[in-house]
Homo-oligomer: A and B are copies of this chain.
Amino acid sequence: MTGASNRSVERAFRIVDELAENGGGRVSELADRLEMPVSTVHNYLQALVETGYVSVDDKEYTTTTRFLEVGHRQRHRLEVFQAVSDELQDIAAETGEHVTLMVEENDQCVIVAVQEGPDAVNLFAYPGARMPLHAAAPGKAILAHMPDDRVQEIIDRQGLIEMTNQTITDPDVLFDQLEEIREQGYAIDEGERIAGMVCISAPVLDKSDEIRGAICVCGPQSRIDEARRAEIADIVKRSANVTQVNLDYV
């Protein structure tokens, strides 16, 4: 855990991040943004091209499909992803809304899979997208099934960043809600991450009650009234349960 680092590795991935962020770039442009000498950036890009993870076409450098490949291979091995199988598609068809499978990684809530129902609003949601745990229904569902001290550690490290004026920023309020989530078996967020959106999410636990992820349905508040919420809550709870059972057979 000492900072046994490696400058080259760090820089290489900073360049990759920058390429991903802007969908590619040229030598001097990147050198500018990263505040590195052009020749250095040039060297790195050359090295990255040799690895096959970056390619260059007419001086424009971009990441390659290698990232897709590595990402999908890893996802394919993720048990909860295998266990959820067709559930997301079924929920999307049944609710018409935007459905996601999410997991925790490095103190954050990450989308693993997305399925858009016929009426889904266009969210900027793609596999790998990250968000704070406290500001989203699936994140809260996940936190609710972690030990309290682990939750506290995450709060200490990450803080409770405000994403909308509805975001929970008070630890006490958060802990109270986590208690409530455990009782009712699902989490709900009313514009806490994106104004005007309501998300309903159920946690997926394994047989040792370890939290593995959460299934989440998102839609505009206008379309999802009290009765519809209860309906969706039942659906996500049912699917989370099916997924839990499937976990034993992956």
Given A64-B106, A77-B23, answer yes or no on A69-B8 (Cβ-Cβ < 8 Å). Answer: no
Inter-subunit contact A74/B23 (CB<8 Å): yes
A-B contact sample (17 more), CB < 8 A, given A8-B12, A9-B9, A24-B77 = A6-B12, A9-B12, A9-B47, A9-B48, A10-B50, A12-B12, A13-B52, A20-B70, A20-B73, A55-B105, A55-B106, A65-B74, A66-B128, A68-B74, A68-B75, A71-B72, A72-B127
Q: Is the interface of A mostly helix, strand, loop or mixed?
A: helix
In the complex, A129→B112 CA distance in Å? 19
Inter-subunit contact B70/A128 (CB<8 Å): yes
Instruction: With both chains docked as a complex, state the minimum distance between the C-beta of A158 and any C-beta of chain B, in angstroms.
Output: 14
Q: CB of A227 within 8 A of chain B? A: no
Inter-subunit contact A127/B69 (CB<8 Å): yes
Inter-subunit contact B46/A128 (CB<8 Å): no
Inter-subunit contact B74/A71 (CB<8 Å): no
> 30 pairs across A/B with beta carbons < 8 Å?
A4-B42, A4-B47, A5-B46, A6-B8, A6-B44, A7-B8, A9-B44, A16-B70, A17-B70, A20-B69, A20-B70, A20-B73, A20-B74, A23-B77, A55-B105, A65-B75, A65-B110, A67-B70, A67-B74, A67-B128, A68-B68, A68-B71, A68-B72, A68-B74, A68-B127, A69-B71, A69-B126, A69-B129, A73-B128, A76-B126
Name which of A7, A62, A67, A69 has the most chain B CB atoms within 10 A of its CB: A67
Inter-subunit contact B63/A70 (CB<8 Å): yes
Q: Which of B4, B21, B47, B110 contacts A43 (CB 8 A)?
A: B4
Map CB proximity to B onto A76-110 as digits: 1 under 8 Å, 0 otherwise.
11000000000000000000000000010110001
> In this complex, what residue of B is CB-closest to A128?
B69
> In this complex, what residue of B is CB-closest to A48?
B9
In the complex, A110→B55 CA distance in Å? 14
In the complex, A101→B202 CA distance in Å? 34
